[in-house]
Structure 1
Amino acid sequence: RVSDCGAAEARAAVRAAHEAGAAWGRLPAKERSARLRRWYELMMENKEELARIITAENGKPLKEAHGEIVYSASFLEWFAEEARRIYGDVIPASAKDRRVLVLKQPVGVAAVITPWNFPSAMITRKVGAALAAGCTVVVKPAEDTPLSALALGELANQAGIPAGVYNVVPCSRQQTAAVGEVLCTDPLVSKISFTGSTATGKILLKHAAGTVKRVSMELGGHAPFIVFDSANVDRAVAGALASKYRNSGQTCVCTNRFLVQKGIHDEFVEKFAKAIEKELHVGNGFDAKTTQGPLINEKAVEKVEKHIKDAVSQGASIVTGGKRHSLGKNFFEPTLLSNVTTKMLCTQEETFGPLAPVIRFETEAEAVAIANAANVGLAGYFYSQDPAQIWRVAEQLEVGMVGVNEGIISSVECPFGGVKESGLGREGSKYGIDEYLEIKYVCLGGL
């Protein structure tokens, strides 16, 4: 059984993090690095068990769960290395009797609120940076997937992370609002890092405004996937399959809208349909041949159905899939729609499910305009073999991350984040640790 924490437990966790913060922040960077490195090693030693926890919690196919654990652990490895590279500056002073220094110091207690779709990696991507910077954390995992966060905590203890540095407050859906409010309003919390929907992010931002907290927000996406006439269609289909149907379409960077130029539209749709039918297999996540697990809950299934029904009512055609899978419950067939227009719900909202709507377009300018019409901008993808077009489109897409002739772009070394209503700040990469550091200017006078 998992504890169902409330506001009181959340405040206690914040106090524990605050009390542990001074000692952890004073620890030499080399020592923090060593403990993060050991945490990484323990994750890799226990990757099979950790992967099985993910599959049991959210239904993700075991092969994908293994991939997530390796990806998750890589953030601890990366930030163990970055912990020793937090450099300040010496600035030439304007007066001869002064010396000017710039220090980087931990912001303090960080509240980390994470989603169910990547229940391990979304924690380590934030926590690795925070602990490397010298911060302590309180993690509120999604109510659907608390076990991954708790398992990470057990390994953190084994790695020598001191008590109070990594805290977990699992809670039910009924307690989520109260716990979230505490984490966003408690004056002892200096930083909030959230991954989830744009709507929830806006609520948390309002809470955080009262005490002017530092915030990182990785919010909703509505990723376009553009295929130009010059593209290698077979590569584009392979990229489309990976980008759309990974985790059954339940990722914030997965493609939500396919835009295919008229010259290759029919060929792309035909090949994409064949690839879906041949390569995707719906089933139990623990079955070795499964590539598509269930959606997270009934509400998620209903949204996919709603988007399909709306599109078909406006003239879209179901090329393959289109209904609940025969396995029942939360399983849904991978679906491909053609004859889609920008007036349909599936091109205006993030579906977060295994639905691929294809829009036919004529010109580059038209495709870019459709892609940029969204109020969010997390990831975008396009396939082209025209070098000039590649530069133009990459620069014009209003997103934080662009995949050019590539459908999977997440990597520990690269900055993850979006623009517009897709969020604030960046995670991973050399930039990720800056989200947990304050800059202090020191002027030494009378020298």
Structure 2
Amino acid sequence: MNLNDIHISVPKYQEMAPHSPTTSNNGGVSERTSTLSQPQFLFINGKYIPSSDNETFPVRNPITGSVLYNCASASKADYETAIENAHSAYQTWSQTGPSARRRIFLKAADIMESYITGDAPEFMSQEVSATMHWVKINVFATAGLFRETASLATQIRGEIVPADRPGTTIWVERQPVGVVFAISPWNAPINLTARAIAVPLLCGNTVVLKPSEFSPKSQDLAIRALTAAGLPPGCVNVLPTSAERTPEVTELAVKHPKVLRINFTGSDRVGRIIAGWAATCLKQCVLELGGKAPVIVFEDANIDDAVEAVVFGALAFSGQVCMSTERVILHKSISREFIEKLLKKVETIKTGNHLEDPAVSISGLFTSAHAKRVMSLVKSAVDGGAKLLAGDLQVTGPRGTIIRPHILEHVSTNMDIAHVETFGPVMLLSEFETDDEAVASANDSDFSLCGSVFSKDTMRALDISKRLRLGACHINGPSLYVESTLPQGGTGGGSGYGRFGGMAGVEAFTEKKIITVVKPGLKLPL
């Protein structure tokens, strides 16, 4: 079985030549193809420049450990400069009309699609061990996100409010807030970078973006597409930063008086730190953090469909997605049948080094340290009495990043793996007998991002979905599912708060302003 074949579709595309250099209308910045070996620079006010102190850090291939290129490491001074430039650009970008913004995003979508035969496959394969399937998902989902964002241009609307006071007209309009500080992760580097900046920009804000230190070139593809499409200088500024410098520059940006919104996608550990800094200056955040998605399979479910969805939800991109299925909660009457079919499916999944064999479905995790952490959680659970149904308790590959799918049952609540996000190809199986037991088991987590319910009784599944503490619940489908129009996010705890996507994103990155107009001659009593 190949994960490329199940439960996910990407648009068919025409074979195109790599995007050729063109000159944009934004003051001379040109779209250009890049090579992986070239250094990566900061992008401030429409120009690629070195850091102010010429500091760099190496970006490595996670499987081989070889240095791919050196990347400029932004300093606190660079962040100050970028924020000032974003604040200046906001003064004019916020006044542009919806049609001008729409045209940029529609053009960027077409440019993005051309990257599938350009830099995207090499960049993502080398930086984050992405298979071609994951590259396609990133590229085409990002093009779709740009188009959906473009459609919101004329949907940012206000309202007229009746006034009790005679001679008064009241309206409430949505206005952009100013400079947004965004941090996007490495695991879906193009798509999540686009999500971090697209709606804020469409609303008239400007953005200072910190990409992951693991994938600067992949993430820069979203910036290149928008810049080539005509986004003016200063509207988006990109500051890759070394791991050593990240804490100090992030705190500076979060607390900077000209930064008025923060959005972050990443771990709950970092999200709590950012939320704490933002709380000291009372700034709003959109935080999409961790997940430990439960899937409940009832006794009347279509077992084959449920197995397919669990395999895809748990193992796509080696389980390194916040929406990945980690907990499978099975009705006791069908658990043995489900497990038998699940194990047969998992046995057919090809795991290995995608650099040597492009046909593999599961390649290496993003660092050897992370792979060791995942395996440590699994081994600790087995040592504590959990039963290993699949997996070899081994970490392989040149630097120890490749892990086969591991499936455990009899995991007790006092084991770390029962509560922390593994972010790897691991599934935990448990049983239930009553609906209340299933709901209690699914809700026994600090995470609240997403999950699934499988049942042929749609009304029963709907009732259960309403009882689950999740930001999204999918009936008879995988936990790993999102569209750009959906209000994606958790309901607190380790999954964060706030919403990306569609009109929910517009609400997050605009402010309501009350405007009143008084008819001349109004008499006010003292």
Normalising by structure 2, what TM-score?
0.82
Match of 1:430 among 495, 503, 513: 503
For each residue in 1:342-393, what CA deviation from the matched residue of structure 2 results, as whole angstroms up to 9, or x when unmatched? Answer: 3322211110001111112222211111111112200111211123321221
* 1:266-285 superposed matches below 5 A: 266-284=336-354
For each residue in 1:121-179, what CA deviation from the matched residue of structure 2 results, as whole angstroms up to 9, or x when unmatched? Answer: 11111211011100000110111111123232222221111110011000111111112
For each residue in 1:25-51, what CA deviation from the matched residue of structure 2 results, as whole angstroms up to 9, or x when unmatched? Answer: 001111011112111111012233223
Match of 2:471 among 400, 407, 415: 400
Offset at residue 261 of structure 1 (A): 1.3
Aligned mates of 1:388, 1:150 — CA distance in 2: 45
Residue identity matched to 2:140: V
The DSSP-based 3-state class of the residue aligned with 2:244 is helix
Residues 282 and 364 of structure 1: is their aligned pair in 2 closer, same or farther, counting only changes over 3 Å? farther
The DSSP-based 3-state class of the residue aligned with 1:346 is helix
CA contact (8 A) 1:244 1:356 kept: yes
Offset at residue 341 of structure 1 (A): 2.9
**Is residue 6 from structure 1 mapped to residue 75 from structure 2 by the alignment?**
yes
Match of 1:362 among 415, 424, 433: 433
Aligned mates of 1:142, 1:336 — CA distance in 2: 30
Aligned mates of 1:412, 1:358 — CA distance in 2: 31
Offset at residue 334 of structure 1 (A): 1.1
Residue identity matched to 1:173: A
* 1:183-222 superposed matches below 5 A: 183-222=253-292
Offset at residue 251 of structure 1 (A): 0.5
Aligned mates of 1:290, 1:13 — CA distance in 2: 41
Residues 364 and 88 of structure 1: is their aligned pair in 2 closer, same or farther, counting only changes over 3 Å? same
Offset at residue 322 of structure 1 (A): 3.2
* 1:58-73 superposed matches below 5 A: 58-73=128-143
Aligned mates of 1:75, 1:286 — CA distance in 2: 32
- Would you say how many aligned residue pairs link Structure 1 and Structure 2? 447
Aligned mates of 2:96, 2:396 — CA distance in 1: 56
Structure whose alpha-carbon radius of gyration is higher: 2
CA contact (8 A) 2:190 2:221 kept: no
2:413 matched to which residue of 1? 342
Offset at residue 12 of structure 1 (A): 1.0
Aligned mates of 2:329, 2:225 — CA distance in 1: 44
Residues 384 and 341 of structure 1: is their aligned pair in 2 closer, same or farther, counting only changes over 3 Å? farther
Range with bigger deviation, 204-213 or 123-132: 204-213
For each residue in 1:255-287, what CA deviation from the matched residue of structure 2 results, as whole angstroms up to 9, or x when unmatched? Answer: 111111111111111111110111343331574
1:384 matched to which residue of 2? 455
The DSSP-based 3-state class of the residue aligned with 1:102 is strand
For each residue in 1:6-41, what CA deviation from the matched residue of structure 2 results, as whole angstroms up to 9, or x when unmatched? Answer: 211111111111110010000111101111211111
CA contact (8 A) 1:21 1:135 kept: yes
Runs of 5+ consecutive residues of structure 2 not aligned to the other structure: 1-38, 40-70, 521-526
Aligned mates of 2:283, 2:356 — CA distance in 1: 42
* 1:404-423 superposed matches below 5 A: 404-407=475-478, 408-421=480-493, 422-423=495-496
1:19 matched to which residue of 2? 88
**Is residue 104 from structure 1 mapped to residue 174 from structure 2 by the alignment?**
yes
Offset at residue 101 of structure 1 (A): 0.8
Aligned mates of 1:91, 1:121 — CA distance in 2: 38
Aligned mates of 1:78, 1:71 — CA distance in 2: 10
1:90 matched to which residue of 2? 160
Q: Aligned Cα RMSD in Å?
A: 1.5
Aligned mates of 1:392, 1:331 — CA distance in 2: 40
CA contact (8 A) 2:351 2:404 kept: no
Offset at residue 53 of structure 1 (A): 1.4
Aligned identity (percent) is: 30
2:516 matched to which residue of 1? 443
Aligned mates of 2:188, 2:377 — CA distance in 1: 24
CA contact (8 A) 2:184 2:196 kept: no
CA contact (8 A) 1:127 1:137 kept: yes
Runs of 5+ consecutive residues of structure 1 not aligned to the other structure: none
Residues 280 and 241 of structure 1: is their aligned pair in 2 closer, same or farther, counting only changes over 3 Å? farther
* 1:293-332 superposed matches below 5 A: 293-324=363-394, 326-328=396-398, 329-332=400-403
2:109 matched to which residue of 1? 40
For each residue in 1:308-366, what CA deviation from the matched residue of structure 2 results, as whole angstroms up to 9, or x when unmatched? Answer: 11221222222221333543420111111233333322211110001111112222211
